[in-house]
Chains A and B, each alone.
Chain A
Amino acid sequence: MAEVLVLVDSADGTVKKSTFELLTAARSLGEPSAVVIGAPGTAAALKDQLAEYGAGKVYVAESDDIAGYSVAPAAEALAAVVEQASPAAVLVSSSPEGKEIAARLAFKIGSGVLTDAIGVDADGATQSIFGGGITVQSKVTTGIPVVTVRPNSFAPEAAPGAAEVVAVSVTLSDAAKAAKITDHVVEEKGSRPQLSDASVVVSGGRGIGKADNFSIIEDLADTLGAAVGASRAVVDAGWVGHQLQVGQTGVTVSPQLYIAVGISGAIQHRAGMQTSKTIVAINKDPEAPIFELADFGVVGDLFTVAPQLAEEIKKRKG
């Protein structure tokens, strides 16, 4: 069986869950191989984790230059691995950077690229478009499928892999060194999971009334180990940063559980969350469109219902 390459996404020596999802998905298409691209020393910390999720090989392309320039070097390094491995497909996580890397790779190797897949097959992918309103089957007609997969589309399943390390040497072109990263700035590094690939998301809307009240959302999220999101109204009001916006023009989430607190459910917002597996809504307006989507809804005052829910969850966790 041909190899299927999975581009590894990691932070601080830990492989991201979305990569384990891709390794799981890759098994249905061929032999999963992981590709680690980054600064020297990145792969050493990740190898054992990748073995646990079935990576037969771990291709490693590491250099200071690869890590020192934005996007283009990763695409070039990945193209070098494709050249070496002749894979049946390449899977990349659907983060903004993942999509850009996949696109540039596809251009280089003369292959079609499909983004934001929720399912993969030998020829292409299943995609959910127009805010979840339409499901499409797409295929790559030229080259090998290069597919970016939305987080939470596959349940990660452990499986043993040999994780045989294959070093890949890459000499970057001048074009790959056109955009230099001169600084990394961490502004918010809370203990909460990242919105885009969290399993549980708690979002607040206009109903919270003012910025100070957003702590109600955060407190509830923390009892569930959830990421925090917000509607556009909350972001536009300046109560939280733009990176928390869930919706048509913000982050699209598809978690196991989405709790909408004080969110009416305008089409703008629904487009970013309606493929969530389970949706719970709290809103004082019984006519709020969010209740049309909710698996379980409570018509009531969020200022009493949300804290009560947080207390109940704490109690049940003991």
Chain B
Amino acid sequence: MNIVVLVKQVPDTEAQRQLNPDDNTVDRAAVDPVINYIDEFAIEEGLLLKEAHGGEVTILTVGPERATESIRKALSMGADKAIHVTDEALHGSDAIQTAKVIAKALGTIEWDVAVAGSEATDSRSAILPALLAEALGVAQLTQARKVTVDGSTVTIERVTDTGYESVQGSTPAVISVVEKINDPRYPSFKGIMAAKSKPVTTLALSDLGIDAGEAGLANAWTQVVSFENAPPRAAGQTVKDEGNGGGQIADYLASKKLI
């Protein structure tokens, strides 16, 4: 089974993330980049599928040159090889453009399932896997908390508000996984050493037959016009409980007409 895992590099959520005032895009230099947290579950799921069904795990990343750090981490967890689509012209692309690029990149290899994290911690839009399935015209098996593969049939438990739906499709399929689907492994020392020599194919837009006039900020279908830092919440009132703390909260809620 040929498994592709989509990995995005994002700014660390623990730091103060910013937009770049020059073009209103994510300021990727201001904050240390990390692998998107939920993608670690996607990598683990890819490795588990390989262990159960054989084959190879290929990491696919679209992003700036520095994203190689996240790719190496994914390889150190046990993935076999990687494709890194990187091109200055990609800067500022939106989700629809990125889905089209990933669809083209998948066209360069043989694959059965493409596994992604359900969302990225920077955009939080959670739409890329659905867009990729749409672009490719293949089964969308997203928001999975469990993935089962039987031959060419893939069945997932798709998380819903009240439980789950069983959703089934045939390969090739796009899968997205929610966090907690598994327990991502830590890279071993051996894995970290091995990752240094694993093959990473770098592709530019021209390698994918994509015109630079379709990619990037100037050609995106959406645009950030302006932004402002949200004013910090005005500090409220804090009291020490002297035996009537619950009553004081109730008074406060009543004064705000919340009860």
In the complex, A140 has a CB within 8 A of chain B: yes
Q: Which residues of B contact A274 (CB under 8 A)?
A: 233
Q: Which residues of B contact A138 (CB under 8 A)?
A: 222-225
In the complex, A124 has a CB within 8 A of chain B: yes
Q: How large is the interface on A (under 10, 10 to 19, 20 to 34, 35 or more residues)?
A: 35 or more
Q: Which residues of A contact B14 (CB under 8 A)?
A: 267-268
Contact A301 B241 (CB under 8 A): yes
In the complex, B52 has a CB within 8 A of chain A: no
Contact A103 B169 (CB under 8 A): no
In the complex, A307 has a CB within 8 A of chain B: yes
Query: Within A118-165, which residues are at the interface with B (CB < 8 Å)?
Result: 124, 128-143
Contact B140 A181 (CB under 8 A): no
Number of A-B contacts (CB under 8 A): 271
10 A-B pairs within 8 Å (CB atoms) are namely A70-B167, A103-B130, A134-B227, A178-B137, A182-B166, A184-B163, A295-B237, A296-B249, A300-B245, A309-B250
Contact B165 A184 (CB under 8 A): yes
In the complex, A49 has a CB within 8 A of chain B: no
Distance in Å from the Cβ of A219 to the closest Cβ of chain B? 12
| Given A179-B168, A309-B246, A134 contacting B19 (CB threshold 8 A) | yes
In the complex, B6 has a CB within 8 A of chain A: no
CA distance A187 to B173 in the complex (A): 27
CA distance A116 to B17 in the complex (A): 18
> Which of B157, B165, B237, B246 is A307 in contact with, Cβ under 8 Å?
B246
Contact A116 B124 (CB under 8 A): yes
Besides the known contacts A133-B17, A299-B241, 5 further A-B residue pairs in the complex with CB atoms under 8 A apart? A100-B130, A103-B134, A139-B225, A185-B166, A249-B37
Q: Which residues of B contact A194 (CB under 8 A)?
A: 161
Closest A residue by C-beta to B145: A242
Contact B179 A257 (CB under 8 A): no
In the complex, B188 has a CB within 8 A of chain A: no
Contact B167 A140 (CB under 8 A): no
Query: What secondary structure prevails in chain A residues at the interface with B?
Result: mixed
Q: Which residues of B contact A233 (CB under 8 A)?
A: none
CA distance A64 to B164 in the complex (A): 19
Contact A179 B140 (CB under 8 A): yes
Distance in Å from the Cβ of A231 to the closest Cβ of chain B? 14
Contact A112 B94 (CB under 8 A): yes
Question: Contacting chain A: which of B57-65, B68-76, B251-259?
Answer: B251-259
CA distance A300 to B243 in the complex (A): 9
CA distance A313 to B246 in the complex (A): 9
Contact B226 A137 (CB under 8 A): yes
Contact B253 A135 (CB under 8 A): no
Contact B233 A292 (CB under 8 A): yes
Q: Which residues of B contact A10 (CB under 8 A)?
A: none
CA distance A200 to B235 in the complex (A): 21
Q: Which residues of A contact B233 (CB under 8 A)?
A: 274, 279, 292-293, 295
Contact B138 A316 (CB under 8 A): no
Distance in Å from the Cβ of B120 to the closest Cβ of chain A? 10
* Contact flags A286-301 to B (C-beta < 8 A → 1, else 0): 1000011111111111
Query: Within B205-259, which residues are at the interface with A (CB < 8 Å)?
Result: 220-230, 233, 235-241, 244-250, 252-254, 256, 258-259
Closest A residue by C-beta to B178: A242
Q: Which residues of B contact A295 (CB under 8 A)?
A: 233, 236-237, 252
Distance in Å from the Cβ of B229 to the closest Cβ of chain A? 6
CA distance A140 to B224 in the complex (A): 9
Contact B167 A114 (CB under 8 A): no
Distance in Å from the Cβ of B258 to the closest Cβ of chain A? 5
Closest A residue by C-beta to B155: A182
In the complex, B95 has a CB within 8 A of chain A: yes
Contact A179 B222 (CB under 8 A): no
Contact B139 A178 (CB under 8 A): yes
Q: Which residues of B contact A184 (CB under 8 A)?
A: 160, 163, 165
User: What are the nearest 3 A-B pairs in CB distance?
Assistant: A300-B241, A308-B246, A112-B221
